[in-house]
Amino acid sequence: MSDYKDLQVWQRSIDFVLEIYSLVKTFPVEEKYALGDQMRRAVVSIPSNIAEGMERSAVKEKLHFLSIAIGSLAETETQLIICDKLGFLEKEKAVQCLNEVIAIRKMLYRLPTSLKQTLTN
């Protein structure tokens, strides 16, 4: 792999950032700067940590940053659940976003195995 930007999980995470930013714009005014700001920080952390980890030379460091990305994804998922329960999201949009969390999580969980295989070949 030559560049982290070639990773599908990074590309998909970037698209997810755009989705969450668009979603936050629909929040009630008082939540755009509270829960909305927290969501933006969490979701931006996902592709950012993928990028930082992939640029590290040691496998242990790569795995550390991928772990942080997974944690940020869980944080984003929790915030989406809260938004759904508070009625800030249409049910269909909540399901769509939570399905995207699942898809990105699966990709992130597979990435360390892929990395280890690449480094041993």
The DSSP element (H or E) to which 58 belongs, if any, is none
Q: Which CATH class is domain 4-120?
A: mainly alpha
Domain boundaries, the chain: 4-120
Per-residue pLDDT reduced to its tens digit, 26-44: 999 988 889 999 999 999 9
How far apart are the C-alpha atoms of 37 and 86, rounded to whole Å? 16
In this prediction the pTM is: 0.93
pLDDT attached to residue 34: 92
Q: In the chain, what is the straight-line distance between the N-terminal and C-terminal CA atoms, in Å? A: 12
> In percent, how much of the chain has pLDDT > 90?
83
Report H helices in 55-90: 59-86
